Amino acid sequence: MKRFVVPPSWPTPPRRNWMPPKTWRPDASWPPAPDDWKFWVDGKGNAVRGPVGRYGGPSQRMVFAGAGGLVLFLAVNLWAISAIGLFGGDDPKDQAAPVLDDSSSTPSVTATPTVPSMTTAVPSPPPSVQKMTVRPTPTPDQDEDDAEGRGD
């Protein structure tokens, strides 16, 4: 049987087996409990986890979040196992990549693959580039602008 134990600086509960209601919180005027204080003990005085939703015990949100996480984990794993086909039970000949039966008593000779011969090609030198300067040919409009001094 779990029992609620109040810190020494708090007022004593109304009776020894008093259990705080689900919405109970200590009065703000009471001093804080020691950091390592265990609010719940078993019949032998050993510290135990309090009831869900009670002061000093795990909150209902944590319990629901843990249960939801466990359900999600199991659902994803079951989906993954079914996706890879471990629950199949289908005939093996219907598989995408059937396993070949290699139980023949006589060994068979397999042809060895041939490797194409490698030829070494000598790269040809790049073509030579000849630099040439080409003078632009003036257009009739440019000749008139140059003569009048309105060029660029």
- Answer for the pair 41, 5: CB distance below 8 angstroms, yes or no: yes
11-58, pLDDT tens digit by residue?
888 887 888 887 788 888 988 888 888 888 887 878 777 777 677 777
- Is the pLDDT confidence value at 146 over 80? no
Q: Are 43 and 74 in the same domain?
A: no
Q: Are 40 and 68 in the same domain?
A: no
Q: Are 64 and 53 in the same domain?
A: no
Q: Are 47 and 78 in the same domain?
A: no
Please report the pLDDT score of residue 132 as a whole number.
78
Q: Are 48 and 79 in the same domain?
A: no
Q: Are 11 and 51 in the same domain?
A: yes
- Is the pLDDT confidence value at 141 over 80? no
Whether residue 33 lies inside any domain: the answer is yes
87-105, pLDDT tens digit by residue?
666 555 555 665 666 666 6
Q: Are 64 and 46 in the same domain?
A: no
Map the chain to HEC letters: CCEECCCCCCCCCCCCCCCCCCCCCCCCCCCCCCCCCCCEECCCCCECCCCCCCCCCCCHHHHHHHHHHHHHHHHHHHHHHHHCCCCCCCCHHHCCCCCCCCCCCCCCCCCCCCCCCCCCCCCCCCCCCCCCCCCCCCCHHHHHHHHHCCCC
For the question of whether the overall pTM of this predicted structure is more than 0.75, the answer is: no
The token pair that represents 139 in the structure block = 């257009």
Per the structure, the complete domain to which residue 73 belongs is given by 60-88
Please report the pLDDT score of residue 82 as a whole number.
79
Q: Are 44 and 4 in the same domain?
A: yes
68-83, pLDDT tens digit by residue?
899 999 999 888 887 7
Q: Are 46 and 71 in the same domain?
A: no
Whether residue 29 lies inside any domain: the answer is yes
Please state the domain count of the chain: 2
CA 117 – CA 108 distance, rounded (Å): 28
CA 18 – CA 9 distance, rounded (Å): 17
* Mean pLDDT, rounded, of the chain: 76
Q: Are 47 and 65 in the same domain?
A: no
* Length of the chain as a residue count: 152
Whether residue 129 lies inside any domain: the answer is no
- Using only C-alpha atoms, the chain has a radius of gyration, in whole angstroms, of 45
Whether residue 118 lies inside any domain: the answer is no
- Answer for the pair 5, 38: CB distance below 8 angstroms, yes or no: yes
Q: Are 36 and 72 in the same domain?
A: no
Q: Are 37 and 73 in the same domain?
A: no
Please report the pLDDT score of residue 150 as a whole number.
56
- Is the pLDDT confidence value at 151 over 60? no
